[in-house]
Amino acid sequence: MIRRVLQKQTLASFDYQWRELTAGGALLTDDWFTQNVDRIISEELLCLDREWFRGKRVLDAGSGNGRWSVGLLRLGCDVVAVDASAHALDRVREAAGEHSSGSVDRLETRVVDLLELPPDLAAERFDLVFSFGVLHHTGDTRGALRNVGGLVREGGVISLYLYGQESVSGRSRAALELRRLALAPLPFELKRRLIARRGVDVHQAFDQLSPVINSRHTFEQVQGWLERDGFSGIDRTIDHSELFVRAEHGSANLDEFDLPRPSPPYWFDRYESAMKAQAGA
């Protein structure tokens, strides 16, 4: 019962966020990010040459406002963007039209709860399942990963970004949880105004402080889950305390497309000062 209440609050928080907080760093209102999103996906998140993506059918599992869907469309993919928020999917369609002209016909959007896949989606298979910063907000990371991992075809790939347990000390994590609990009863608009007074990136700070479900995991834990679900070649594409993971379902024959792993500074390092500021919000 309690978990369901927390899940409902977290879903409502993201619905508000995607509807009302449309500007911020590493979003499509950020010119640098918008110009580089397809390169980031190819060269840092998946470490695969752009040619690998052409014509691939991709599930953007938890698409948010569509920033990654836009990058995947630019890479030549056919994209199915799913999210629990209908408002988020409105943004996805707008973003595709604005930032990836001529590719809207390769985009499909569906309202989906990743913990309860509709039968028609559960029956589909994808060349790539891409999920960035979503599964750790579901309240059941393992169950959500099992669901989306099951949609990767034999010879396909999964790409994940998950919160890493080593990224935040126990003391800092406890302090963050206290801030979240203190803010949780407040209406989202009031919460937004309080966060804005701190002079931080409101979208990013709201993302960190408003949703009450924020699970953290170790690479070994995620690796074990993926292995039990039939994945191999499980690799951390970015050497960081956060978890940037690529894995193959069966043999994906990636050798001819494989790129060297990136070196610092990584794409997200340009937002490091903002991230530190919001951590103290």
Q: What is the pLDDT of residues 145-154, one digit of tens each?
A: 999 999 999 9
Average pLDDT for the chain: 95
| DSSP annotation string for 117-178 | --HHHHT--EEEEEEES-GGGSS-HHHHHHHHHTTEEEEEEEEEEE-BGGGS-HHHHHHHHH
Which pLDDT belongs to residue 279?
44
Distance of CA 270 to the CA centre of its chain: 18
CB contact at 8 A, 204 and 275: yes
Residue 208 CA to residue 205 CA, distance in Å, equals 5
Q: Which domains, and CATH codes, for the chain?
A: 2-279 (3.40.50.150)
Packing angle, helices 86-99 and 2-20, rounded to 10: 30
Low-confidence ranges of the chain (pLDDT < 50): 277-281
What is the per-residue pLDDT for 101? Answer: 81
**Predicted local confidence at residue 3, as pLDDT:** 86
Q: Nearest 5°: CA angle at 56, between 54 and 61?
A: 125
- pLDDT tens figures, 83-113: 999 999 999 999 999 999 889 999 999 999 9
* pLDDT at residue 276 in the model: 53
Instruction: Please write the tens of the pLDDT for every residue from 24-60.
Output: 999 999 999 999 999 999 999 999 999 999 999 999 9
Task: Tell me what pLDDT residue 274 has.
Answer: 53
Q: How long is the chain? A: 281
